[in-house]
Amino acid sequence: MRALSNQKLRKSLYAYAIVIIGYAVIQVLANGGGLSSAFEGQLVPICAYVVMALSLNLTVGVMGDLSLGHAGFMSVGAFSGAVACIALENMIPVPALRLTASIAVGAVCAGCAGVIIGIPVLRLKGDYLAIVTLAFGEIIKNIITCFYVGQDNRGLRFGFLTSINDLNLGDGARTIIDGPMGLRSVPKLSSFTAGFILILVTLAIILNLVNSRSGRAIMALRDNRIAAESVGIPAAKYKLMAFVTSAALAGAAGTLYVLNFSTTVASKFNFNTSILILLFVVLGGLGNMWGSIVAAALLTVLPEMLRQFNNYRMLVYAIVLILVMLATNNSSVRTLVGKMKEAAALVFKKRGTGR
Amino acid sequence: MKKSLLTMVAVVLCLCMFAGCSTDAPSGGGTQTDAETASNEVFKIGATGPLTGGAAIYGIAAKQGAELAAAEINALGGLQFEINYQDDEHDAEKAVNAYNALQDWGMQIFLSSVTSTPAVATAVEAFEDRVFGLTPSASSTAVLEGNDNIYQMCFADPNQGSATAQYVADNYPEAVVAVIYKNDDVYSKGVYDTFAAAAKELELNIVSETTFTEDSQQDFSVQIADAQNAGADFVFLPMYYQPASLIFAQANAVGYNPTYFGIDGMDGILTLEGFDTSLAEGVMLLTPFSADAQDDKTVNFVTKYQEQYGETPNQFAADGYDCVYAIYEAIQSSDGAITVDMEAPAICEELIAIFNGGFSFDGVTGAGMTWNENGEVSKSPTAVVIQDGVYVGVK
Amino acid sequence: MAFLSHLISGISLGSVYAIIALGYTMVYGIAKMLNFAHGDVIMVGGYVSFFAASAWGLHPVLGLLLAITVCTVLGVAIERFAYKPLRQAASLAVLITAIGVSYFLQNAAQILWSSNPKVFSSIVGNTNFPMLDGRITVSLIALATVGACIVIMILLTWFTGKTRMGKAMRACSEDKAAAQLMGISVDFVISVTFAVGSALAAVAGVLLCSMYPTLTPTTGAMPGIKAFTAAVFGGIGSIPGAMLGGILLGIIEIMGKAYISTQLSDAIVFAVLIIVLLLKPFGLLGRHVTEKV
């Protein structure tokens, strides 16, 4: 039993260590001028995707339900967070505070969406659950495409299915969300440090949840729902708890993401984005948090690394993806990696005893 | 799962190393010159556009047009250009990545992005870094807003929308109008908004307004029926030619044959492989470029483009071609004030001064083009009508 | 009258979804995997048929047969190289590989055939039948699609229900290990499933492109997702369910556009799907599996 908890602890420490070391290395490199601007520009999106992957891992890995609409929550967080950020411009002039407040608003809005969606969705199972999350993702995309938000001296004005001209903005008019044209002139508040802190907070929330009594209940439901329910674990409550946490964290990631670009359109958060996040989670390993972090970071950088292939870039990306999936599931490769690990462990041990 | 993760990390790292080894060589463009002399003898012109994915047709066309122009200019032996087109997948995030990759490459002049959403994102970056940008075809006004160093080669969306409304009001005051637009597309919605605003002022009789999206652009029966039942005899289609070709076919099948009016995105419909051009008979469009024009410039461009790429150039290719030539002429008109060894911000200030200072350019997409200080181009849209499978100018 | 005309459009759109959904549900029912590359096999079928007609001047029927052959080979090859090595892996790993295959096919198509759209000429011509004094039009291709859908549904039901191979397929679907013990070659059965599924994709591709005649490398993607939705809607794994789900999805999409809002049509389709799944958690005709403890 002690060994088990030690292993858990070690895994959690891995995750924190990767994030902190990664942050330190990148900061040192950036200060030394050793980073290309291409890589520097990707730091915030990487942080956002890492948070997305961690939060989806909570649904798919820990809770065991396939979600194909995770980008929908990112979208809710992105758009509500950006509106909050612009609306609070005069009230909170300090950028760091405003960013925190916007992320909080994004997380709360996405969490609310999580409650609304989670209650019906979690009654379903397997592929039916997956398709309903896909459906909600598409609905969110469609609805935000028809949404108009403007600001004038009287405050925020909302419109649905109209056009920005019909909002009748008065003095000091500013368009925030212009339907299909998406967000306009968003202040770029996100920074790598903010992203780093958000990853740490996300990790703390998820690891605490997983290692708590509730987390054990959620995993028991995943492993055998009937057995878990028969010992009195309320399935609906715990599943909803995990789902809403996951949605809220995705919303926070969405706000972080959107405040890094001057414009974002609703169709960015489509089915393909949901699938991309799922890709990070599956490649990193279900339930494996540090795996999600590494996979999200690597796979976000990979397409940029392939720029020299020009038009063949995405073809190469697809081939790499298939090969990685085949290699990671190939028994001989896995045995080889296992042997290498054993050998490495042996070397370390020898050195340890030799001293 | 841990083992699988390790394997994955190993595979990806190997690949990254492999990619890293060769990133020193200049990537991109088909018109590369010798890498060693490249840095101080050629102008490095960067651009982003969708080269993969659903919007790839626009990015690839603009890229080919720009590269053709650069090859022609380089062959003259004077100024030398190197074009580097990076893929942005029609996405703001990827466009910023592409822009940053171009910065690392040492871009001096920026051809901005081909499509609007990416162009808005890269315009802000280019504004902060003071890199001069001339977009071939990103027509949204948001691209120019607040950025003094970004210019457009194409008409801005509002121009197209209001010009169409004005044209209809002048020539067909009795028209009963229906509009079908793409609701999740910046270009289509942008033109529609200004068309609707102008139509209200001009008191046009709009009876039907319907939409479609990227996810539902195959079946148009409802939109067509709505226009038909409302008695519209004039249908405005602010969209690209691919969905338009479906609308023509489906409307024809139910025996509905109104007068169609398109915008510059409609150009290309006649060269669509396998398309029955009789379906587009009588379609009117405002376009700055037509591949069938008989002037020397266009004939030269179209012939060379066909030789090189085996297809007829569309409006995007023409815009890309013109962008490179406009920059070429602007640099020449600077009388040596702009040289290849200058940094991007210095070139930017010179080019802004030239483009704002009455610079006029004749290209394949229009003659006597000038730019105002917002970056909008002024060229007269010409209305053409399709007759017997070719464009015919209308007065 | 407008209602009737919308209903007809809905059925024709739905029949395209249905024919794609049949392929989806077939593969899912036996191999228990979501083959996200199905939509892209459809696209390949469309291109093969297009080039058969335009570049080589083949008769449309020969073009269709050629498309079926190419897609069958392609489907079996994809199964052999991308899915078979993952037979023992988690189902999500296979899902991700299928997505990789889908990206691969789309990008390969773009490089091979360029992203310029091609206009497909209908395999049955552009004949239309005006009815009720021309107030309603039914196109021949719509009739052909609905007809093909029914024929394929009957054939598939017969194939899985009566033939030896079909019985083997059902056995694999129930329990792979037990089927193996009974002397069924599971690998072979799954290969045959993919061959049949991909042949159906070719037919679907040709009919899809005949009805909505533009062809690009991403043509199959969205109809693929909608057909997947339709298959789940009808109860995934159920052959009549896929047909019913597809047709209903088409009707809902058209009716939603016609009577509620064209701007919200996607949201309406998916909202109806959610409501139906909440009322019938295993789809319209899906089998309710009771979990044993």
pLDDT in tens, A17-63: 989 999 999 999 888 877 888 888 899 999 999 999 999 999 999 99
Query: Looking at beta carbons, which residues of chain A come within 8 Å of B123?
Result: 262
In a domain, B138, yes or no: yes
Query: Looking at beta carbons, which residues of chain B come within 8 Å of C213?
Result: 245-246, 249, 274
In a domain, B172, yes or no: yes
C108 touching chain A per CB within 8 A: yes
Q: How confident is the model at residue B217, as a pLDDT? A: 85
What residue of C is the nearest CA neighbor of A286? C92
Total of domains in chain B: 2
Instruction: Characterise C134 by phi-psi region: left (phi > 0), alpha (psi -120 to 50), beta (else).
Output: left
Q: How confident is the model at residue C291, as a pLDDT? A: 59
Q: Indicate if B163 and B177 belong to the same structural domain.
A: yes
- What residues contact B169, with CB distance under 8 A and at least 6 apart? B199, B202, B203, B204
Number of cross-chain residue pairs from B and C with Cβ atoms under 8 Å apart = 102
Query: Looking at beta carbons, which residues of chain A come within 8 Å of C232?
Result: 127-128, 131
Selected residue of A119, A121, A127, A134 to mutate for chain C interface (largest C Cβ count, 10 A): A127
If interface means Cβ-Cβ distance under 8 Å, which residues of chain C face chain B? 2, 5-6, 9, 13, 50, 54, 107, 110, 114-121, 126, 128, 130, 134, 137, 139, 211-214, 216-218, 222-223, 226, 253-254, 257-258, 262-263, 265-266
Please indicate whether, in this complex, the C-beta atoms of A262 and B120 are within 8 angstroms of each other: yes
Shortest distance between the Cα of B269 and any Cα of chain C, in A, equals 10
Contact between residue C228 and residue C34 where contact means Cβ atoms under 8 Å apart:
yes
Res. A298: pLDDT tops 90: yes
Model pLDDT for residues C80-97, shown as the tens digit of each residue: 999 988 888 888 888 889
- What residues contact C160, with CB distance under 8 A and at least 6 apart? C166, C169, C170, C239
Please indicate whether, in this complex, the C-beta atoms of A163 and B196 are within 8 angstroms of each other: yes
Res. B171: pLDDT tops 90: no
Confidence of residue B87 (pLDDT cuts 50, 70, 90): very high
What residue of B is the nearest CA neighbor of A341? B3
Model pLDDT for residues A226-280, shown as the tens digit of each residue: 899 999 999 999 999 999 999 999 999 999 999 999 889 998 999 989 999 999 9
In a domain, B389, yes or no: no
- Reported residue count of chain C is 293
Please indicate whether, in this complex, the C-beta atoms of B273 and C116 are within 8 angstroms of each other: yes
Selected residue of A123, A267, A315 to mutate for chain C interface (largest C Cβ count, 10 A): A315
Q: How confident is the model at residue C282, as a pLDDT? A: 85
Q: What interhelical angle do C265-279 and C239-259 show, nearest 10?
A: 140
CATH number, domain containing residue B246: 3.40.50.2300
Q: How confident is the model at residue A329, as a pLDDT? A: 81
Q: Indicate if B305 and B367 belong to the same structural domain.
A: yes
Domain closes at, from B287, B316, B336 = B287
Q: Indicate if B147 and B190 belong to the same structural domain.
A: no
Q: Indicate if B140 and B187 belong to the same structural domain.
A: no
Helix runs in C32-90, H state only:
38-54, 60-78
E strand or H helix that includes residue C229: helix C221-234
**What does the buried/exposed string (b/e) look like for A63-77 if buried means 16 or more CB atoms within 10 Å of the residue's CB?**
bbbbbbbbbbbbbbb
Please indicate whether, in this complex, the C-beta atoms of A308 and B25 are within 8 angstroms of each other: yes
Q: Indicate if B278 and B352 belong to the same structural domain.
A: no
Shortest distance between the Cα of A296 and any Cα of chain C, in A, equals 14
What 3-state DSSP class applies to A158? strand
Residue numbers of the domain that contains B306: 39-155+298-378
In a domain, B210, yes or no: yes
Domain A2-310 has CATH 2.50.20: no
Mean pLDDT lowest among A216-230, B381-395, C185-199:
B381-395
Query: Looking at beta carbons, which residues of chain C come within 8 Å of B225?
Result: 2, 5-6, 258
- Reported residue count of chain A is 355
Residue of C119, C126, C211 lying closest to B272 (CB–CB): C119
Residue of A145, A163, A295 lying closest to B184 (CB–CB): A145
Q: How confident is the model at residue C292, as a pLDDT? A: 58
Query: Looking at beta carbons, which residues of chain C come within 8 Å of A116?
Result: none
Distance of alpha carbon B96 from alpha carbon C185, whole angstroms: 52
Shortest distance between the Cα of A298 and any Cα of chain B, in A, equals 7
Q: Taking chain C, what is the end-to-end CA distance rounded to the nearest angstrom?
A: 55
Selected residue of C99, C262, C276 to mutate for chain A interface (largest A Cβ count, 10 A): C99
What proportion of chain A, given as a percentage, has pLDDT over 90? Answer: 56
Query: Looking at beta carbons, which residues of chain A come within 8 Å of B87?
Result: 307, 310-311, 313-314
Confidence of residue B140 (pLDDT cuts 50, 70, 90): confident
Strand partners, C137: C130
Residue of B54, B211, B274 lying closest to C262 (CB–CB): B211
Confidence of residue B287 (pLDDT cuts 50, 70, 90): confident
Shortest distance between the Cα of A321 and any Cα of chain C, in A, equals 6
- What residues contact A164, with CB distance under 8 A and at least 6 apart? A148, A150, A175, A178, A179, B193
**What does the buried/exposed string (b/e) look like for C87-104 if buried means 16 or more CB atoms within 10 Å of the residue's CB?**
eebeebbbbbbbbbbbbb
Distance of alpha carbon A314 from alpha carbon B58, whole angstroms: 17
Query: Looking at beta carbons, which residues of chain C come within 8 Å of A66?
Result: 92
Res. A344: pLDDT tops 80: no
Confidence of residue C237 (pLDDT cuts 50, 70, 90): confident
B22 touching chain A per CB within 8 A: yes
Q: How confident is the model at residue B28, as a pLDDT? A: 40
Shortest distance between the Cα of C119 and any Cα of chain A, in A, equals 24
Torsion of the alpha carbons at A289, A291, A293 and A297, rounded to the nearest 10? -170
Q: How confident is the model at residue A260, as a pLDDT? A: 94
Res. B103: pLDDT tops 80: yes
Selected residue of B214, B219, B252 to mutate for chain C interface (largest C Cβ count, 10 A): B219
Q: Indicate if B266 and B162 belong to the same structural domain.
A: yes
A166 token code pair: 């019909």
Q: Indicate if B271 and B302 belong to the same structural domain.
A: no
Q: How confident is the model at residue B357, as a pLDDT? A: 87
Shortest distance between the Cα of C278 and any Cα of chain A, in A, equals 7
Quick one: average pLDDT of B256-273?
85
Please indicate whether, in this complex, the C-beta atoms of B3 and A305 are within 8 angstroms of each other: no
Residue of C93, C261, C277 lying closest to A124 (CB–CB): C277
Strand partners, B150: B133
Can you give chain B as a three-state secondary structure string? CHHHHHHHHHHHHHHHHHHHHCCCCCCCCCCCCCHHHHHHHCEEEEEEECCCCCCHHHHHHHHHHHHHHHHHHHHHCCCCEEEEEEECCCCHHHHHHHHHHHHHHCCCEEEEECCHHHHHHHHHHHHHHCCEEEECCCCCHHHCCCCCCEEECCCCHHHHHHHHHHHHHHHCCCCEEEEEEECCCHHHHHHHHHHHHHHHHCCCEEEEEEEECHHHCCCCHHHHHHHHHCCCCEEEECCCHHHHHHHHHHHHHCCCCCEEEECHHHCCHHHCECCCHHHHCCCEEEECCCCCCCCHHHHHHHHHHHHHHCCCCCHHHHHHHHHHHHHHHHHHHCCCCCCCCCCHHHHHHHHHHHHHCCCCEEECCEEEEEECCCCCEECCCEEEEEECCEEEECC
More confidently predicted of A77 and C32: A77
Distance of alpha carbon A25 from alpha carbon A212, whole angstroms: 32
Domain closes at, from B287, B321, B350 = B287
Confidence of residue C15 (pLDDT cuts 50, 70, 90): very high
- C-alpha pair distances (Å), B301 with each of B64, B253, B308, B370, B382: 11, 37, 10, 21, 19
pTM for the full predicted model: 0.90
What residue of A is the nearest CA neighbor of B18? A305
Query: Looking at beta carbons, which residues of chain B come within 8 Å of A284?
Result: 5
Contact between residue A179 and residue B192 where contact means Cβ atoms under 8 Å apart:
no
Confidence of residue B37 (pLDDT cuts 50, 70, 90): very low
Task: Dihedral sign for Cα B275, B277, B283, B287, please.
Answer: positive
Quick one: average pLDDT of B146-153?
90
Which residue in this structure is represented by tokens 């011509």?
C125
Shortest distance between the Cα of A232 and any Cα of chain B, in A, equals 31
Tell me which residues of chain A, numbers 164 to 223, contact chain C at a CB-CB cutoff of 8 Å: none
Q: How confident is the model at residue B21, as a pLDDT? A: 40
Res. B26: pLDDT tops 70: no
Q: How confident is the model at residue A219, as a pLDDT? A: 93
Quick one: average pLDDT of A296-325?
87
Name the burial class of residue C1, with classes exposed (0-12), middle (13-18) and buried (19+) by CB atoms within 10 angstroms of its CB: exposed
Name the burial class of residue A324, with classes exposed (0-12), middle (13-18) and buried (19+) by CB atoms within 10 angstroms of its CB: buried
Q: Which long-range contacts (CB under 8 A, 24 or more apart) does A165-172 make?
A: A165/B193, A165/B197
Res. B36: pLDDT tops 80: no
Domain closes at, from B224, B258, B287 = B287
